[in-house]
């Protein structure tokens, strides 16, 4: 795949929102350079890039796609961009736009709720905190950096106003979204009868219940464990199998160059 320096995708590598954007670009075989954002340490840089000074309200989030002087700040906009630029089957077909948008909203709320479960588990795992550094940070240094890593993770929880004590509410919200998915799947095995972005958002939602295979989203073992909600995974094993099937059939290899 030839490098396209014009397209740069800033991601939080394990995040389902970032995976949605990668999936949409990869689906259309649009090459891009992938740049990892570091929560907390990368906040100022990200805000500067997005033109959101510290004083301006609103959260600075990734994925962000930089292309031809444009800055796309939302996974939904990136998926639409990919559909506009790419030649593969549309992920958001015009006639299903409203329906796909509704599933996107449902996945957003459920992922927002699941985030509290993941962050809670990350904070409780020394191994996951150690794995959260970029590859260049030497192994022996990581335990020594834990107070900073833990501080950064707690800061992240505040950024998203997460209530880390309440696990019942997020689990209920996630279970409701998954029940809606189960009801929608029917005999086609697709949320809307054929493969669309609605399948992408619901498949990536399951990342916060039990992560997809490493060949799709690489995670360290402790991070994988922290992203796993055993009880939810057990109760929704049918949907995990569905997600794995969707990945096997529809997740094209990465078009990223870095």
Binding site for ligand GSH (CB under 6 A): 12, 15, 17, 39, 61-63, 74-76, 159
| Beta-carbon count within 10 A of 102 CB | 13
Q: Which is nearer to ligand GSH, 134 or 138 (CB)?
A: 134
CA distances from 187 to 63, 177, 191, 226, 253 (A): 33, 19, 10, 33, 27
Min separation Cβ 140 and ligand GSH, Å: 27
Least Å distance, CB 186 to ligand GSH, is 27
CA distance 133 to 153: 12
Q: What is the dihedral of CA 28, 30, 32, 37, to 10 degrees?
A: -20
Rounded to the nearest whole angstrom, what is the least distance from the CB of residue 238 to ligand GSH in the complex?
26
CB of 247 to ligand GSH, least distance (A): 20
Question: Least separation, in Å, of the C-beta of 14 and ligand GSH?
Answer: 9
Is the separation of the CB atoms in 234 and 9 below 8 Å?
no
Q: Which residue has the tokens 């004590």?
A: 165
E strand or H helix at 11: strand 7-11
**Cis previous bond, 63, omega within 30:** yes
How would you classify the pairing of strands 7-11 and 64-67?
antiparallel
Whichever of 12 and 210 has its CB closer to ligand GSH, that residue is 12
Closer CB to ligand GSH, residue 51 or residue 139? Answer: 51
The distance of closest approach from Cβ of residue 27 to ligand GSH in the complex, given in angstroms and rounded to an integer, is: 17
Q: CB nearer to ligand GSH: give 185 or 216.
A: 216
The DSSP symbol for 132 reads: T
Name the residue nearer to ligand GSH (CB basis): 17 or 195: 17
Which of residues 174 and 185 has its CB atom nearest to ligand GSH in the complex?
174
Pairing label, strands 33-36, 64-67: unpaired
């Amino acid at each position: 795949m030839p490098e396209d320096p014009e397209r740069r995708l800033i991601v939080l590598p394990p995040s389902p929102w970032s995976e949605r954007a990668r999936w949409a670009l990869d689906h259309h075989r649009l090459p891009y350079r992938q740049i990892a954002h570091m929560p907390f340490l990368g906040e100022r840089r990200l805000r500067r890039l997005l033109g959101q000074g510290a004083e301006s309200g609103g959260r600075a989030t990734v994925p962000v796609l930089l292309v031809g002087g444009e800055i796309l700040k939302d996974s939904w906009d990136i998926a639409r961009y990919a559909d506009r630029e790419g030649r593969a089957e549309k992920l958001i077909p015009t006639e299903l736009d409203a329906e796909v948008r509704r599933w996107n909203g449902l996945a957003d709320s459920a992922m927002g709720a699941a985030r509290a479960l993941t962050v809670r588990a990350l904070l409780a795992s020394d191994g996951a905190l150690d794995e959260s550094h970029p590859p260049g940070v030497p192994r022996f240094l990581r335990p020594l950096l834990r107070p900073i890593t833990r501080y950064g993770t707690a800061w992240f929880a505040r950024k998203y106003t997460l209530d880390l004590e309440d696990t019942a509410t997020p689990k209920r919200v996630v279970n409701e979204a998954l029940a809606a998915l189960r009801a929608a799947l029917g005999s086609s095995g697709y949320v809307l009868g054929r493969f669309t972005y609605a399948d992408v958002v619901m498949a990536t939602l399951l990342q916060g219940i039990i992560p997809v295979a490493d060949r799709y989203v690489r995670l360290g073992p402790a991070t994988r464990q922290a992203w796993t909600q055993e009880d939810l995974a057990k109760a929704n094993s049918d949907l995990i199998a569905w997600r794995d099937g969707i990945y096997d059939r529809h997740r094209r290899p990465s078009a990223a160059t870095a």
